[in-house]
Each structure stands twice: as structure tokens, then as C-alpha cells.
Amino acid sequence: MKKLKVGLIGFSIGGHVFHAPFIAENPDLELYKVTARKPEQQQMLAERYPDAIGVMSAEDIINDPEVDIVAIATSNDVHFSFAKAALEAGKHVVVEKPFTNYSAEADELIALAKEKNLVLSVHHNARFHSDFKTVKKVIESGRLGRVVNYEARYDRFRNFLRAGAWREENLPGSGIHYDLGAHLIDQALLVFGKPIAVFADLRIQRDGAKTIDDFEFILSYPGLKVSLKGQMLAKISTARYAVYGMSGCFVKWGVDPQEALLRDGVQPSQHLDWGKEDPAYQGTIAVLENGNDVEEKIESEWGTGQDFYKNIVSAIQGSEDLYIKPEQARDVIRILELAEQSWAEQRTISLEGELIS
């Protein structure tokens, strides 16, 4: 079958780290055109992907009849406008997370994709991370019994602001709650479904900061509390995941290894153990089983970032259901909106009547 040609809009970190390597190594895809405006981006593109065509504008990709898929790896402020233009031009579309800044924009894109019979998905790549895949497998095994507390977090340390970084400005869709929090919300919704209420604590902590750099979301379920946190002043990291159930708990440290390799320019095919965690980061399960206390390490699942674009191809070909549906990504945005409302009004927000899957 003819390769599907991908136009990648954005070749900063989002584009050259998280999208281009997996597109280029998918046998059913061709990294055809890439926006590369800065000299350093043009040089990187020429060195890593010499067959790709560098262009200066998104329109050069969206209006090209040869392009089958438009992948949008830009700042959040243009996700909606570029995705809408690409769908109107008859292209399948992949949008970097978070999907859009507002859920109403997401709804408009979903309706347009359905009208045009096009595949629309969002790059919630943390679903394919080794740490989350391991946690999800442990929960689904039932060894913890009924889960009553689920904690997930991103601990980072950067006590200064990055000059010129749009995420540091007080703009719609900026702040680490939209950036990192979107991952954690998507994972929680995937495992537990729709919560009944949300409460948020959103703070600006670093000197001179203009937007959220510390967050906590509490999603309430019948008999279950989900706590999702992120901060920029954690010099010593805590556990990435901690899950507590009636039969015991599972605690997981460390982060998925794929991003570090991608940032160093390593392609998936160049690493024999792609997605394999250091055994030192294996999580620990401690449970009461058959009246006995059991504590053991759980071998981590392998990270599989390449599965995202494999699924996109299969969905376009009609051989597989779309794994990350736009409605799911829209639900993440709606939770973020309600979280901001919760903090502004200093109250818990009920999700009764919310159309969340």
C-alpha cells in the first residue's frame, strides 16, 4: 500500500522529539513536509531527515494536495485554527496535547472530522509510557483489591523562568496544569472513567512567574479519590505513582526512558531495548494474599511510543479502532476548565450533566 504522506507543523521540541522520529520510522508513513523556520531547525531537519521538505509556513502543508495527514506540534494557541484548516482541506489530523484551549473548540473539530469522515486524534503519548502501562496493568490485575486512592504526579525542578517561552506567559492553555496535568487527567479517565466531581488547587510559586507552576487536581469517584499533582520546585522527586487498595498498595518511582533518548537524538531503531526501563525503577507491590504478607518488585512494561502512529495508520485504513479518540481528549480539556473554575470559586465542582465518556 502507498505510504501516507505526513506534513508536520512545528519542529521545535514537540515536533523533532515526540513526532518526527516515530513518523519517519513507521513503514506506512512518509515524513514528507516539515515547517522549519529557524536556521537550527533547518539544519537538524537536513541532517536527520534529508528526504523531508522544509517549508516556512503551515499553509504550505495544509494546502498541499499530496499531504494525507497533518500533525500539529505547535504552541497551544494555534492547535484549533490549524486543525480546523487541515480538516477543511480534507486531511486526517493529529494534534499534540492538550487538544485545544477550550472544550467548545474541541467539539467543533470533532463535528467537522465526522462531517468530513476524517481521522482526528490527539497525541496523548503518556498512555504509551512504561510507568503508566505498568501501573495500569497492576490495577487491572486485581491484586490490590478495590482501589481507594490513586496518586500520580510530575516532580520537576526549575526555579527560573525560560525567556520567551510561551508556556511561561499568562495565556489560554499555558501553565503546567495544561501541559503536564493533561497527561495525568487522560490517564486517570482511561483507567477509572468519568469522575463525579473535581476540585483543584492552582498556584503560581516561582519568583516572577506569570502562570500556574504548581497544581493539584482531586477527582472524586464513588469510593475512590484520585490525586494528580505537578510542581516545578521539587529538588528531590517523590514516587511517580502510588495506588492504594483494600488488599495492599503499589508504588512506582522513575520515569519512562523514551523522552530522554529522543531528546538526545536517538531514533527508536537505533536502540535495541527501546522503551525498557532501568530495573532500579521497578515498582513495589505490597499486598495481603491468602492471609500472607507479600512484597515483591513488578517488572515494568516497555514503553511503546511508536504504537501511537501505528494506530493512526490502522484507523485510517479501517483495520483498527482509533485508540485515542478526540472525544476523550475533549474530556481532558473539559476537566481542565472545571478545575480552573473550581480554583476561581474555591469549591468542588460537580460533573453531573457533563457529557464526559
Going by pLDDT thresholds of 50, 70 and 90, the confidence category of residue 171 is confident
Tens of pLDDT, residue by residue over 4-20, are 999 999 999 999 999 99
Order of strands, edge to edge, in the sheet holding 4-9?
53-55, 29-35, 4-9, 69-72, 92-96, 120-123
For residue 48, give the 3-state DSSP assignment.
helix
> How much is the average pLDDT of 322-328?
98
How many residues does the structure list for the chain? 357
CB contact at 8 A, 301 and 130: yes
CB atoms within 10 A of CB 208: 8
pLDDT value of residue 281: 94
CB contact at 8 A, 115 and 318: no
Tens of pLDDT, residue by residue over 175-214, are 999 999 999 999 999 999 999 999 999 999 999 999 999 9
Q: Average pLDDT of the chain?
A: 96
Residue-wise DSSP of 274-332: TTPPPGGG-EEEEEEETTEEEEEEEPPPPP-TTHHHHHHHHHHHTSS--SS-HHHHHHH
The strand pairing partners of 152, in sequence order, are 228, 241
> How much is the average pLDDT of 288-297?
96
pLDDT value of residue 357: 67
Q: pTM of this prediction? A: 0.96
The strand pairing partners of 288, in sequence order, are 293
> Does 138 have pLDDT greater than 90?
yes
Angle of helix 326-345 versus helix 176-192 axis, rounded to 10: 120
DSSP code at position 235: S
Tens of pLDDT, residue by residue over 83-116, are 999 999 999 999 999 999 999 999 999 999 999 9
Of the ranges 170-179, 215-224, 268-277, 304-313, which one carries the lowest mean pLDDT score?
170-179
Burial 170-189 (b: 16+ CB within 10 A, else e): ebebbbbbbbbbbbbbbbbb
Tens of pLDDT, residue by residue over 334-355, are 999 999 999 999 999 999 888 7
CB atoms within 10 A of CB 10: 25
Nearest C-alpha neighbor of 299 from the set 316, 284, 318: 284
